[in-house]
Amino acid sequence: MQWIELTIATAPAGIELVAARLTALGFDSFIMDDQQEFHDFLEQNRRYWDYVDEELEEKMAGVSQIRLYVEDTPQAVETASYLSEQLSLLRRQFPAVDFGPLTVSAAGCRDEDWENSWKQYYQPLPIGEKLLVVPQWLHPENPEGRIEVRLDPGMIFGTGAHASTQMCMKALEQCIHGGERVIDLGSGSGILSFTALLLGAATATGVDIDPKAEDIARENAAMNGLDGSQFTAVTGNVIEDRARMEELAEGGYDVVLANIVADVIIPLAPVVPHFLRKGGVFLCSGVLNVRLDEVKAALEAAGLTITGCNQMDDWCQLSATC
């Protein structure tokens, strides 16, 4: 199969906002190339090496872009045009942010090029005190004995690389003590459900509006040695489909997760109390700093009490109870 690689040229100050907008638009798999993040990575991990290839540094100089892949069909041109329109709207929405050129360019590539292109960016990733996210095609050494969460992210959001996911995983380390009933609203790859189960939760249900997420999450569950008695993947929209919401909320949950975006968390807030057991906790993430007050207000208006707020890069993660 032929693919089209769409490259969005932006600037360091705007790349996170562009990525958030792509996620909100349903583009769940993309690659971010950013000079500042590259240099931050080098500085934060300097103890692991004493030499960096000059050619690699030159290649990353001045780079701030996002690459995503669409099938090479007549609709690809429409997709590129649609992205250009949405990026123009984004610039108008945040006039003070330096987004750079925000141009969209296209290039063709084959299946094997796409596979190698995205897989090279996924490496074992330690998170928090206990966890290690491992792509399923790798078998790394694990001298610290961290709990391995294995994934084949495919085309579904949730690899552990994003700040919002990492904050949720760290929060789960603190609130899973053993035997909890967990539900993840907007589960994607299932990474948060698996994290909860591997930390000791009794059961987890992953809910997503994308039917593709069901199959990928089940495959990822099997990679982690989790069967149907522990993990359930379902498709549904708990905001708009009340019957589905009531069906899934039956019995309540000790932990409710939502690692999505502010524009989904805000309308989701009134639904959350239906899912929470007394003493349960709601963990939400995917909230940009600029949207934090809006999300807090929505949670409080729904009768939730905010008990914690963590920040990483430009993102926030909130904890709340009924």
Domains of the chain: which residue ranges? 2-119, 125-321
Given the DSSP bridges, would you call strands 305-312 and 315-321 parallel, antiparallel or unpaired? antiparallel
Give the pTM: 0.66
d(CA 193, CA 205): 7
Quote the pLDDT of residue 157. 56
Fold matches, 2-119 and 125-321: no
pLDDT value of position 43: 52
The topology (CATH level 3) of 125-321 is Rossmann fold (3.40.50)
pLDDT of 137 = 83
Instruction: Name residue, tokens 């500085």.
Output: 43
Structure-token pair, residue 216: 């990928």
Cβ atoms of 97 and 13 closer than 8 Å: yes
To which residue do tokens 């904050």 refer?
Answer: 167
pLDDT along the chain (322 residues), means of 10: 84 88 84 64 45 46 78 78 86 89 79 56 85 88 93 62 89 97 93 96 94 87 94 95 96 96 93 96 94 96 97 93 92
Determine the Cα–Cα distance for residues 262 and 253; give it in Å rounded to an integer: 22
Task: Return the CATH number of the domain spanning residue range 2-119.
Answer: 3.30.70
With the CA atoms of 68, 71, 73 and 76 taken in that order, what torsion angle do they form, in degrees rounded to the nearest 10?
-10
Q: Could you list the beta-strand ranges (E) of 111-217.
A: 125-127, 131-135, 147-151, 181-185, 203-208
Helix (H) or strand (E) segment spanning residue 39: helix 35-44
